[in-house]
Structure 1
Amino acid sequence: MAGVAWLLVALPLAGAALLLLVRRPLERVGPIIATVLSWGSFVVGAILLVEMIGRSPEARAQHLTLFSWLPVGTFSLDAGMLIDQLSVTFVLLITFVGSLIHVYSLGYMAHDPDRRKFFAFLNLFVAAMLLLVTADSYLLLYVGWEGVGLASYLLIGFWNWNPPYASAANKAFIANRIGDFGLGLAIMAMFATFGTVTITGVDRAAQAAGDQAGTMLTVIGFLLLLGACGKSAQFPLQSWLGDAMAGPTPVSALIHAATMVTAGVYLVVRAHPVYDHAPVAALAVTIVGAITLTMGAIIGCAKDDIKKALAASTMSQIGYMMLAAGLGPVGYAFAIFHLVTHGFFKAGMFLGAGSVMHGMGDRVDMRTFGGLSGKMKITWATFLCGWLAIIGFPFLSGFFSKDKIIEAAFVGEGWRPWVFGLTTMLVAGLTAFYMSRLFFMTFHGKRRWLEDDHPHESPASMTVPMIILAVGSVALGGVLQAGGFLDWLAPVTGGHAGAAHHEPVLPIPVITGGTLLLVALGVGLAWARYWRADVPVTAPAGSWLTRAAARDFYQDDVNHGLLVVPGNALVEAATLADDSGVDQGTDGVGRAVLGASTRLARLQNGFVRSYALTMLLGVVLVLAAVWMVQS
């Protein structure tokens, strides 16, 4: 049955090609075709899952060779697919959530004149992400990785007639190029060290080499982390994520929930044999995750733009996943668990934000909302489910997945469990505060609408996907835990099976109770400030921390100083060297040749006497040369 796996990528890729190449006949039906093909990939993924469940855990991973890709001398690399528990999990998340976003877009983009092109780009995005997670080699993974970068650029800048939107797309593209450079170097280092770039080959070589290749594994681990930081918007390459909200809201949901930002987590977990034998690189992953989840939470507290507040939340939640992935076998499966549940409640909230914008004249400033629960009841109810899930309300999806990461962070020796564990717990309280702030400012409190506002509920094509995602936000975590999802991943990640042998430094009831107490405090504080009290329409100046968070901790300024200014100086120096060195040198050679040819041309004057004199001089010179040789 794995022989049909190629359809996963082929269906949406064919949709993208069809919609881009065939224009006028598909202006109306093209979006529907793209949506059907996306659902077709989901059906293929579901078939693969059912067939996989019927096999023993050790026999579930299958390889599908597509064609001979790079036969170079004695080296040969086939293009193939790796279908195992990890890749199928991502396939189902990408295709299900992505297809719901396609359906939502049918209503959201109904009046956009370029919606055929928009759906082509959506299909391309899904196809590239599916290639990324099913590739059986890091080189083919890199092709999908770059495809995701291209599709994100096209979608973020879809309304590129607006200069800030075009700039946002460029910013995302350039920031990701830095990370992509790291991933490219990592693949080169794998080949130089192990002689292979296939995923199973690198895994076996890393496990066999162990500590003997510790230095190179550490280098590879850091380079992979650089790639993950770019794609998953982790510190210090996170500045592009907030600006990426320039794209249509379905794009934001697709990027933040099911595709692009999850790629870095997938990469780290997929390469876990490297990190198992590179503890320094694994610690760096954990530290990056801890910094990012804290920064994202603080930034979320200062944003009044509903989409940018959700973007900061994504940054923080991906930070949780990266921290878990850096914890080693105790955290790999927990990172994927939270990634799956997060895909549902974050997609639901982004689509809910789009629904609010749809009913409020495309505005995003939460200070001009308030009291929308009575006007947009379905949007309010579905957003409520996502809000409760992300703050970790007991027995909802986020409670099961995020609290597992918090517990795992308290596992270890020395300073690490206290630093990482307390960080994850405190940020859970911050998450409850800023997400409650967002929810209350938008749907509750006094109405702060503008005079020409007429809030209304969105059409069924938008609300039905929101309802489905809301159900997942409520129930998916419990269903996956009861269904043994962590044990399902164990043959690939090796994580959950070993987690039972590690106990946190604090009793689990204490960790859970402390986390819930902080969550309750965060919700209570947000209720007092943003529901019970009046919210000013104009944001106050705030403290220095608020101002810094509102500007993303000056990350753009740092990037400008570290990258843009030196880059401009380098370009200016290169331009000067080109003008004064290369150009002057080539111009000098040209002038010398021109001068010599001009002087030589004077000999060709057309006078017979001049030619006779030249011949005479030639004869004299030849005779002189002969005489000198003979004497």
Structure 2
Amino acid sequence: MVDFAMQHAWLVPLLPALAFVVIVFLTKPWQKLSALVAVAGIVGAFVFAALAAYGVFTHPEFTEGSLVYGVRWLSMPGLHINVGIMLDPTSAMMIFMVSLVSSLIFIYATGYMKGDPGFSVFFSYVSLFAASMLLLVLSSNLLEMFVGWELVGLCSYLLIGFYTHKISAREAAKKAFVTCRIADFGLLLGMLSLQIVFGTLDLPELAQKIAHFHQYTSAGVLTLIAVLVFLGPIGKSGQFPLHVWLPDAMEGPTPVSALIHAATMVVAGVYLVGRMLFLFSEIPSAMELVAITGAFTALFAATIAITQREIKRILAYSTVSQLGYMMLALGVGSLSASMFHMWTHAFFKALMFMGAGSVLTALHHKADVWEMGGLVKKMPITAWTFVVGGLAIAGIPPFAGFWSKDEILATALNSHHYVLFAMGAFTAFLTAFYMWRLIFLAFFGEENPANHPVESPWNMTVPLIILAALATVGGWVGTPWDNVWSQWIFFGEVEHAAPNYGVMIGSVILALAGIYLAYQLYYVDREKVKAKALAERYHGIYTLLFNKYYIDEIYLWFNHAIVDGSAKLFYLFDIYVVDGIIVNGLGAFTRLSGEGLRITETGRLQNYALVFFLGVLIIAVALAFSSPSAAGLLLGGVK
């Protein structure tokens, strides 16, 4: 069965895709049946993914290569594209993680979406979403990957704007779609350049040819290609400055938020950079760009998160920050650290988003954490599983985030990127602070008498419990003493980083300091006097952070002043110059010329004879003044 799953790994994305087709064309009128089809499709995909992953991780030969198989998709002179599957430790881990987390989110959604009129439509969309991400992960060439890439973009548009009656949801969907299209244009140019320069888009062939790129092109051209390719992940994974769509994606149903932030969509960009690391590693400046972008985004988003009030928006900026961590790891050359953090992040971030959804359901979608409080008494399962997620993301041992985050920090330090290490370490402190600020405000302290929460049903709480367990033990495969993870998922040489106790102790101290500060400001101080005083004392900084550095306003100004202004200028130029002077002028000249010539066209023979005679007479007079003999000869001939 294991060998069958490995040889037929294409069934992993096919099963949820079939669920999408069945729901759309057959079961849409029956909500429970549609949900059953969707859950069956993704659970079936998980079973196949688990078997395939088991096969990969029990065959030592996969540490040196991959299983690639496919068929010819497109063939013409100079262009041959295969559609196929590439199964190796990285893709095996991804399909296992994506299908597992998606299965839990699908089950959770059966409770969260209960009673929604678009219930069946929702499950058709999320089935296509999961299928698209699994296709992207397993693709053996960039064009096939780009198909999955664009499909996840389409699904995100459909799901973010799922509540079409809300203007904010429609605008958020358009914002996500347009922002990602800008980035994807760069990615598409990079792919076309790779095809032109190297003659292939197959990942194994590209890896071999780029290793000897001097035979095909210059370092400057390859640098430009790497930057163009990186534009796609900047948009898809919410890196600065194209991060603006990700917080607004909270307008969709909470299971969608969990899917986007934990298992699909945003991790696609990180995965693409990791899959294309053979390109970036040839250009040191490109690696620096990836590392700096990641470190800056991680710190930038964390500073915004410390002031936000809406529970899902805090988690959204947390995702942007954690994706920056993953990019930082890739930029310093560690595929294993990046993929390891993606693995652990999927568990604790899905857990916290689904916990937030449980809270929103209980509070009738009241999202402000300052209006919550004391939820642990009425919603113990949601609260304590959320606490597990908070411990994991803060980096408290032995929870999963501790191992993956510390590996990134240790890798940055070992590669002598001291400034980036410092940025990552400070981000770890901020992460612990803003996440436990959320926890103390929402789940502990005094209850808000205006709230009457009740615990969510079993189909929402059971996935929370499973994810809490995974967020606890999911990082144990990457402990530095017996790092099974880095023995399988790596780029270049096998990574055997020795335990860095200084980084471990330091990161735990930073995390505890962040939690303690949040405890003092938001739990011990029941009236939040100190927190409010700090906000008033540093009003300018607080306002800047609360308004997200006014990046959205800058884009809005640019759109209105530059884009709309330029469009107005071109419009006026078109109306008054192109149409008014050139087109209308030519038309007027033609009309006037026609009206003048029409006078001469009477249709009477005697008029034409008179004109002919007058013309001859004029010529004769002209010649008489210039040459009398010629005039006489002409007149004599006329006679």
TM-score with structure 2 setting the length: 0.88
Task: Find the counterpart in structure 1 of residue 372 from structure 2.
Answer: 369
What displacement does 1:469 show? 0.7
1:534 paired with 2:526, answer: yes
Task: Find the counterpart in structure 2 of residue 301 from structure 1.
Answer: 306
Task: Find the counterpart in structure 1 of residue 630 from structure 2.
Answer: none
Distance, in Å, in 1 between the alignment partners of 2:441 and 2:401 is 22
Amino acid paired to 2:555: N
Pair 73,439 (structure 1): closer, same or farther in 2 beyond 3 Å: same
Pair 248,220 (structure 1): closer, same or farther in 2 beyond 3 Å: same
1:485 paired with 2:489, answer: no
Pair 617,35 (structure 1): closer, same or farther in 2 beyond 3 Å: farther
CA RMSD of aligned residues (A): 3.0
Distance, in Å, in 2 between the alignment partners of 1:148 and 1:529 is 40
Structure 1 residues 484-563: aligned runs within 5 Å: 484-490=484-490, 493-494=491-492, 497-500=494-497, 508-535=500-527, 542=536, 543=538, 544-563=540-559
Task: Find the counterpart in structure 2 of residue 249 from structure 1.
Answer: 254
Give 1:187's match in structure 2, choosing from 179, 184, 191.
Answer: 191
Residue deviations 1:68-93 (CA, integer Å, cap 9, x gap): 22x22232112222122111211111
Give 1:461's match in structure 2, choosing from 459, 462, 472.
Answer: 459
Larger deviation, residues 346-355 vs 438-447: 438-447
Task: Find the counterpart in structure 2 of residue 131 from structure 1.
Answer: 135
1:401 paired with 2:404, answer: yes
Distance, in Å, in 1 between the alignment partners of 2:591 and 2:23 is 56
What displacement does 1:523 show? 0.9
What displacement does 1:603 show? 10
Distance, in Å, in 2 between the alignment partners of 1:190 and 1:535 is 59
Give 2:392's match in structure 1, choosing from 386, 389, 393.
Answer: 389
Give 1:239's match in structure 2, choosing from 244, 247, 250.
Answer: 244
What displacement does 1:261 show? 1.1
Pair 596,436 (structure 1): closer, same or farther in 2 beyond 3 Å: same
Amino acid paired to 1:377: P
Pair 114,186 (structure 1): closer, same or farther in 2 beyond 3 Å: same
Alignment identity in percent?
36
Task: Find the counterpart in structure 1 of residue 631 from structure 2.
Answer: none
Residue deviations 1:342-393 (CA, integer Å, cap 9, x gap): 0000000000000011111111100111111010011012111111111111
Pair 108,539 (structure 1): closer, same or farther in 2 beyond 3 Å: farther
Residue deviations 1:16-36 (CA, integer Å, cap 9, x gap): 233334475344421221121
Distance, in Å, in 2 between the alignment partners of 1:616 and 1:201 is 83
Pair 305,604 (structure 1): closer, same or farther in 2 beyond 3 Å: same
Contact between 1:16 and 1:121, CA under 8 Å: does it hold in 2? yes
What displacement does 1:207 show? 1.0
Residue deviations 1:126-179 (CA, integer Å, cap 9, x gap): 122112111111122111111111111111111121111111111111111121
What displacement does 1:604 show? 11
Amino acid paired to 2:458: A
Distance, in Å, in 2 between the alignment partners of 1:355 and 1:499 is 41
1:567 paired with 2:567, answer: no
Residue deviations 1:495-541 (CA, integer Å, cap 9, x gap): 6x1454xx7xxx82222112111111111111111111124599775
SS in 1 for 2:396: coil
SS in 2 for 1:445: coil
Task: Find the counterpart in structure 2 of residue 206 from structure 1.
Answer: 210
What displacement does 1:283 show? 0.6
What displacement does 1:305 show? 0.6
Amino acid paired to 1:565: A
1:419 paired with 2:419, answer: yes
Distance, in Å, in 2 between the alignment partners of 1:236 and 1:321 is 16
What displacement does 1:276 show? 1.4
Contact between 2:62 and 2:88, CA under 8 Å: does it hold in 1? no
Contact between 1:425 and 1:515, CA under 8 Å: does it hold in 2? yes
Amino acid paired to 1:406: L
Contact between 2:63 and 2:89, CA under 8 Å: does it hold in 1? no
Contact between 2:128 and 2:155, CA under 8 Å: does it hold in 1? yes
What displacement does 1:59 show? 6.5
Distance, in Å, in 2 between the alignment partners of 1:66 and 1:420 is 44
Distance, in Å, in 1 between the alignment partners of 2:449 and 2:607 is 98
Task: Find the counterpart in structure 2 of residue 18 from structure 1.
Answer: 22
What displacement does 1:313 show? 0.8
Distance, in Å, in 1 between the alignment partners of 2:214 and 2:383 is 52
Structure 1 residues 22-37: aligned runs within 5 Å: 22=26, 25-37=29-41
Contact between 2:57 and 2:89, CA under 8 Å: does it hold in 1? no
Task: Find the counterpart in structure 1 of residue 156 from structure 2.
Answer: 152
SS in 2 for 1:361: coil
Contact between 2:487 and 2:495, CA under 8 Å: does it hold in 1? no
1:380 paired with 2:383, answer: yes
Gaps of 5+ in 2: 615-633
What displacement does 1:262 show? 0.6
Amino acid paired to 1:408: T
1:172 paired with 2:168, answer: no
Pair 604,428 (structure 1): closer, same or farther in 2 beyond 3 Å: same
Task: Find the counterpart in structure 2 of residue 624 from structure 1.
Answer: none
Task: Find the counterpart in structure 2 of residue 319 from structure 1.
Answer: 324
Pair 66,591 (structure 1): closer, same or farther in 2 beyond 3 Å: farther
What displacement does 1:412 show? 2.7
What displacement does 1:445 show? 0.8
What displacement does 1:286 show? 0.8
Structure 1 residues 109-128: aligned runs within 5 Å: 109-128=113-132
What displacement does 1:436 show? 0.8
Give 2:275's match in structure 1, choosing from 250, 253, 270.
Answer: 270
Larger deviation, residues 382-391 vs 136-145: 136-145
Distance, in Å, in 2 between the alignment partners of 1:446 and 1:11 is 47
Give 2:82's match in structure 1, choosing from 71, 78, 84.
Answer: 78
Give the number of aligned pairs: 609
Contact between 1:109 and 1:115, CA under 8 Å: does it hold in 2? yes
Larger deviation, residues 160-169 vs 285-294: 160-169
Task: Find the counterpart in structure 2 of residue 577 from structure 1.
Answer: 573
